[in-house]
């Protein structure tokens, strides 16, 4: 027979469910019975989730490939862009050490193990920023550094018994008690505070050479051939260190010139051609024998007082003058010799002035001797007149007493000749063995050449043929 309708429907639904199960589809009952729109939402969400996972996987793969290409680059490629290094992170676990260590030092020190006590066979080429706590080698340094250490080692407890063959460049703080066997090659220029008390056993093989000076002397009035030779050869006088020419006076004739100013101008021009500086001391023919002695001396001051620096450079030695009353008197020291020039002439025109000038001359010699005593070993006095002039006897008597009793050094008095005397030397004046007189002949050529030294005795002097022999 026929079944009821509801049984047909129910039977049909059951059969469909059984068919789904037989087909292997297993879904939750709530999904199977859900509304169609809900099923669509669920399906779309699932698809989006799967797609996102796929994109993440693809992006990760591309990033890995890009990093590999950036670090190695394609073979033969140029212009690859450098990758930006990642900041160091000590938390990241690194791969095991490779079999080929890097040649570059790491940016951070290793923290895995303490430093080794054994030096590396391949030491780093870069110095460490701070000194090592442990030295790498405990023996001697084979190749010491060329730079001094900031922390030098302490000195040894005992001095060495084998001194160095090379002297140190730093002097000791205290002098040696034992002199060296050989003289120093660089002697000190300063005086020793404790000079040696031992004399050398033998004299020096290279003694200090004698310091000598060459100078020239003339006197009187040049005329005729003498004037010609003098004017033509003053420029040829040999120039020696500190050499000079000194005129002892009487270059004028008061009867011929009347001591007018032009006479002083003429002698000024004549001697200006000398190759060496020229000094003058007054003679009576240009001073007290003139019609007006005061005016004549004024001309002498004007043209001849500062003559040595008028045409020549200032000398290396200090020239002092007896200012203010007797500036014609001068003094200087060179080559350990004291040279003094004074106004000592023949004839008397005013006894008061004569006595005062003699006293001033002696005072000037005393002053120069006492003030400069440590700088000279011999004294030379230039003057026009000699002791043969009776009016000058008081001066020479006082001077002889000073040389004998006070000065006690070798003294040479230089003056021009009297009348027909020729050039010569008179030794042991007034019986004094250290007092000599050198006489210069006036009115002749050549000038006298003198070579003088404190210990040069006898000393050479010549007013004969020296100029022809030396100059020609």
Residue 308 forms part of a structural domain: yes
Instruction: Out of 77-91, 238-252, 294-308, pick the least confident.
Output: 77-91
Max mean pLDDT range (140-154, 191-205, 216-230, 418-432): 216-230
pLDDT (0 to 100) of residue 91 = 45
pLDDT value at 217 more than 80? yes
CA distance readout (Å), 375 to 216, 369, 386: 23, 10, 28
User: Distance (Å, rounded) from C-alpha 356 to C-alpha 367?
Assistant: 16
State whether residue 453 is helix, strand or coil.
coil
Contact 383, 417 (CB under 8 A): no
**What are the backbone angles phi and psi of residue 35, rounded to the nearest 5°?**
-70, 155
Contacts 24+ apart (CB under 8 A), 351-358: 354/391, 357/326, 358/392, 358/394, 358/395
Q: What is the pLDDT of residues 307-318, one digit of tens each?
A: 999 999 999 999
Residue 438 forms part of a structural domain: yes
Q: 367 has which bridge partners?
A: none
Mean pLDDT of the chain: 79
Residues 6 or more apart in contact with residue 467 via CB below 8 angstroms:
233, 445, 446, 447, 449
pLDDT band at 16 (very low <50, low <70, confident <90, very high): very low
Mean pLDDT in residue range 110-120: 62
Residue 341 forms part of a structural domain: yes
For the chain, the domain total comes to 1
- Compute the residue count for the chain: 472
pTM score above 0.85: no
pLDDT band at 38 (very low <50, low <70, confident <90, very high): confident
Residue 129 forms part of a structural domain: no
Range of the domain at 328: 213-470
Mean pLDDT in residue range 323-339: 98
pLDDT band at 5 (very low <50, low <70, confident <90, very high): very low
pLDDT value at 202 more than 50? yes
Mean pLDDT in residue range 399-426: 95
Residue 264 forms part of a structural domain: yes
Residue 6 forms part of a structural domain: no
Q: What is the pLDDT of residues 154-189, one digit of tens each?
A: 665 666 666 656 666 666 666 655 555 566 666 655
Residue 189 forms part of a structural domain: no
pLDDT (0 to 100) of residue 60 = 78
Residue 161 forms part of a structural domain: no
pLDDT value at 440 more than 70? yes
Q: What is the CATH number of the domain that holds 251?
A: 3.60.21.10
CA distance readout (Å), 105 to 122, 128, 134, 148: 12, 11, 20, 28
User: Distance (Å, rounded) from C-alpha 422 to C-alpha 162?
Assistant: 72
pLDDT value at 438 more than 60? yes
- The residue written with tokens 């509801």 in the block is 6
pLDDT (0 to 100) of residue 130 = 61
């Amino acid at each position: 027979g026929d079944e009821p309708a509801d049984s047909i429907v129910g039977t049909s639904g059951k059969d469909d469910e059984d068919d789904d199960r037989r087909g292997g589809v297993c879904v939750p009952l709530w999904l199977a019975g859900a509304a169609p729109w809900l099923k669509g939402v669920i399906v779309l969400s699932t698809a989006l989730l799967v797609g996102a996972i796929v994109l993440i996987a693809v992006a990760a793969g591309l990033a890995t490939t890009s990093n590999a290409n950036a670090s190695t680059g394609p073979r033969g490629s140029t212009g690859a862009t450098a990758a930006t290094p990642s900041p160091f992170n000590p938390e990241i676990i690194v791969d095991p050490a490779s079999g080929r260590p890097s040649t570059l030092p790491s940016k951070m020190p290793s923290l895995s193990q303490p430093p080794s006590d054994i030096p590396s066979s391949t030491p780093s080429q870069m110095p460490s920023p701070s000194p090592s706590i442990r030295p790498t080698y405990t023996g001697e340094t084979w190749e010491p550094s060329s730079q001094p250490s900031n922390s030098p080692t302490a000195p040894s407890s005992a001095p060495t018994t084998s001194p160095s063959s090379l002297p140190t460049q730093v002097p000791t703080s205290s002098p040696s008690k034992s002199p060296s066997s050989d003289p120093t090659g660089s002697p000190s220029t300063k005086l020793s505070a404790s000079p040696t008390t031992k004399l050398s056993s033998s004299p020096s093989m290279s003694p200090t050479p004698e310091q000598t000076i060459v100078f020239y002397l003339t006197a009187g009035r040049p005329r005729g051939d003498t004037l010609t030779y003098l004017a033509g050869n003053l420029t040829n006088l040999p120039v020696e260190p500190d050499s000079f020419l000194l005129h002892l006076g009487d270059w004028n004739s008061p009867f011929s010139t009347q001591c007018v100013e032009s006479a002083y101008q003429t002698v000024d021009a004549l001697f200006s051609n000398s190759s060496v500086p020229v000094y003058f001391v007054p003679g009576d023919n240009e001073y007290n024998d003139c019609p007006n002695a005061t005016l004549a001396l004024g001309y002498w001051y004007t043209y001849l007082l500062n003559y040595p620096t008028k045409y020549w450079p200032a000398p290396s030695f200090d020239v002092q003058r007896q200012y203010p009353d007797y500036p014609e008197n001068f003094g200087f020291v060179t080559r350990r010799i004291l040279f003094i020039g004074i106004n000592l002439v023949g004839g008397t025109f005013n006894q008061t002035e004569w006595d005062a000038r003699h006293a001033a001359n002696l005072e000037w010699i005393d002053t120069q001797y006492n003030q400069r005593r440590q700088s000279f070993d011999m004294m030379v006095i230039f003057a026009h007149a000699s002791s043969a002039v009776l009016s000058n006897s008081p001066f020479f008597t006082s001077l002889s007493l000073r040389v004998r009793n006070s000065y006690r050094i070798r003294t040479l008095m230089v003056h021009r000749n009297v009348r027909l005397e020729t050039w010569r030397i008179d030794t042991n004046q007034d019986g004094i063995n250290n007092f000599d007189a050198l006489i210069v002949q006036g009115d002749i050529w050549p000038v006298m050449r003198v070579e003088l030294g404190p210990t040069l005795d006898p000393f050479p002097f010549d007013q004969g043929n020296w100029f022809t022999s030396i100059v020609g």
